[in-house]
Amino acid sequence: MITKVHHVGVVVRAIDEALPFWRDTLGLKLHKLELIEEQGVKAALLSVGDSEVELLEPVVSDNGVARYLERKGEGLHHICFQSDDVERDLADMKAKGTEMIDQVTRVGIAGRICFLHPNAMDGALIELCQPLDDYAVQHPAGAPEAV
């Protein structure tokens, strides 16, 4: 079940150059900064109320974030909804015939994540996430095999 908007993702050319606006001008607190090598991105989470803004910088040239930046430039990339059980929601969406990018969940900066294909949402890229602490309570054995 979707519980809230967890974050909005914004693609930037360089997090170090983007941070002064988000942190210093807008006053958002930098919550987490991480290099996610398996996804080819550097990511930053900035807190705003009960939600966050995620800045994404591609660190390789052959992934979706890099292609997005090349095609569309910097800007809004995706909306992430927090789930109380991302594994169940992924299975439910697949059972309903929703076109997915991810067939199984994976770990991202926001926790356990999966992406719906933009074709499923009239062109909007949607991410589902479940923070890792919540995920570990519900799935003590870890992620299931492909669903």
Tokens for 4, please give them: 């809230």
Residue 141 pLDDT > 90, yes or no? no
Confidence of residue 133 (pLDDT cuts 50, 70, 90): confident
Percent of the chain with pLDDT over 70: 90
CATH topology classification for 2-138: 2,3-Dihydroxybiphenyl 1,2-Dioxygenase; domain 1 (3.10.180)
Residue 138 contacts residue 144 (beta carbons within 8 Å): no
Confidence of residue 132 (pLDDT cuts 50, 70, 90): confident
Tokens for 143, please give them: 């992620």
